[in-house]
Structures are given as structure tokens and as C-alpha cells.
Amino acid sequence: MNDEQLLRYSRQIMLPQIDIAGQQKLLDAKVLIVGAGGLGSPASMYLAAAGVGQITVYDDDQVDLTNLQRQIAHNTADIGLDKVISTQQTLEKINPGVKVLARKRHLAGEQLLAEVADADVVLDCSDNFATRFAINKACVDKQTPLVSGAAIRFEGQVSVFTPGLNDSPCYNCLYQSDGEELQNCARNGVIAPITGIVGSIQALETIKLLVGTGTTLTGRLLLLDGLSMEWHSMRLKKNPNCPSCGEK
């Protein structure tokens, strides 16, 4: 680390759980974020500010006026721009020392497996069932930690899945892949700060995984009811018959 980096990250470095060694781990890390919307925006912004060395963002959508209420990586001038480009520009303004790779495409198949294998941590910031299950299966296959978040109406949830470690369940242990499509914000609405809270927690859990500190949400589902401002934590168990991570 040079003097500028030591100064930029000084408030993190002074934390005994981070220190110089932990900050160096962040600088050396590669993170994959799928989705540059309500969750991907705050998650990517905090990870860039924290000094994660490489952030790869996948999204195949463009910025729309309806996004701006909650997708804080984008602004009015970005309407019509690819979300990944808008996100890249925002992150580079926050921290020009971070390498941001913008990929405008739907991440699937062999490309998904390759990106997951190359990442130290994957953040699922998508908004549909099919993508979530595909990301989960790739993370199970490549043994890559997955930080999953979701937000709708006044409700949010976050969990961490660490395939092969701590007897971790996977996303498919929690949700069945043959179920109905999850409700989305376009049909049901969402209050803006909920996406910020969930995305920020995803960033925090990612930092903890990269540095190797604290207790992550592995084996737990954290639920937030924003209307009552109550948090609930559910214990999750690995399903031995899970089609993604169960015993073959």
C-alpha cells in the first residue's frame, strides 16, 4: 500500500479486525456482482469505497426513470445509459483505484461458471428466480461464497452461503427451484431505503468474508420488516436432498 491508500483507508485500517493485512486482502480481492439495480447500487458503491480491488458488474438493462427512486448508482442524466456503464462511472468517481469491469449481458452458462470461479465472493443482486438459482448452482459447483439479498415493499432479507464450509446450506435448500416466480418490485413496489439497507448488509458480509473476520450470515436468514422496524433471524439447515448441494 502506498501513502495515499493508507490515508484513504485509515478509518478501516485502525480497526483491529481489519488492520493493514485485512485492507490488503480487500485490495487483492475480486468480487462479482450480478445486478446493477436497487441492491447492486449500494453494495457496489460501499465495496468500491472500502477498496475491493476488482469489481465485475453484470446487468443487461438500461437506466429508466422508474429506477432512480432507489437505484442510487444512477442519476437523471444516466437515463437510457447501460446500467453497468453508469455503475462503472459512479464507482470510478468514488474510488479511481478500484478496477471496475462492466459487462452488459445476461450472465449464464459457461460464462457464469467462469466468472464465479474467478471471483472470491459473488453477490446476487438480481431480481428473478431463474437467475438466483443459476448463480447458486454455479457457486455450489465452484465452491465460491455467495451473498444473497432481496427487497420488496417494506421487507428485506439477506443470507450468506459458503459451499463446502461450516455445513452451509445453499439458496436451493431455502427455496425450491420448481416454485412460482418471486414477486418483483415492478408489480408490488418497494420503499427506497430498504434496498439501501439490504445492499449495505451484502457489502458488509462480503467484506467480512474477504477479510476473514466476525460471524457471517452463513446458516441464517436475516429478515427485516421496515414498517415495524423489527429484525428476525432464522436458522437454516443444509438439505441432504437438495438438488443443488445435497448428497448425490
- Decide if 242 is catalytic: no
C-alpha cell at 62: 438500461
The dihedral sign for the CA sequence 159, 140, 33, 112: negative
pTM across the whole model: 0.94
**How many helices (H) and strands (E) would you count in the chain?**
10, 8
Q: What is the largest CA-CA distance in the chain?
A: 53
- Phi first, then psi: what are they for 26, rounded to 5°? -65, -45
Report the sign of the C-alpha dihedral through residues 140, 122, 110, 58, in that order: positive
Q: Which three cell numbers stand for residue 37?
A: 439495480
Q: What is the pLDDT of residues 191-215, one digit of tens each?
A: 999 999 999 999 999 999 999 999 9
Q: Please tell me the chain's helix, strand, coil percentages from 3-state DSSP, rounded to the nearest 5.
A: 40, 20, 40
Write down the residue that cell numbers 464507482 correspond to.
Answer: 91
What is the predicted pLDDT for the residue at 246?
82
Q: What is the pLDDT of residue 189?
A: 87
First to last CA, the chain: 45
Q: Where are the domains of the chain?
A: 3-148+191-217
Whole-angstrom distance, CA of residue 6 vs CA of residue 23: 9
Q: Show the low-confidence residues of the chain (pLDDT under 50).
A: 179-180
Q: How far apart (Å, rounded) are the C-alpha atoms in residues 149 and 201?
A: 9
pLDDT digits (tens, 9 = 90+) for 149-171: 999 999 999 999 999 887 899 99
Cβ–Cβ contacts within 10 Å for residue 176, how many? 13
Q: Which alpha helices (DSSP H) does the chain contain, by range?
A: 3-8, 10-13, 19-28, 40-50, 83-94, 109-118, 129-142, 171-174, 185-188, 192-211
97-109 b/e (C-beta count within 10 Å ≥ 16 → b) = ebebebbeebbee
Cα dihedral 203, 207, 209, 212 in deg (nearest 10): -160
pLDDT at residue number 111:
95
pLDDT at residue 175, rounded to an integer: 86
The catalytic residue among 139, 170, 173, 185 is 185
The CATH number that domain 3-148+191-217 falls under is: 3.40.50.720
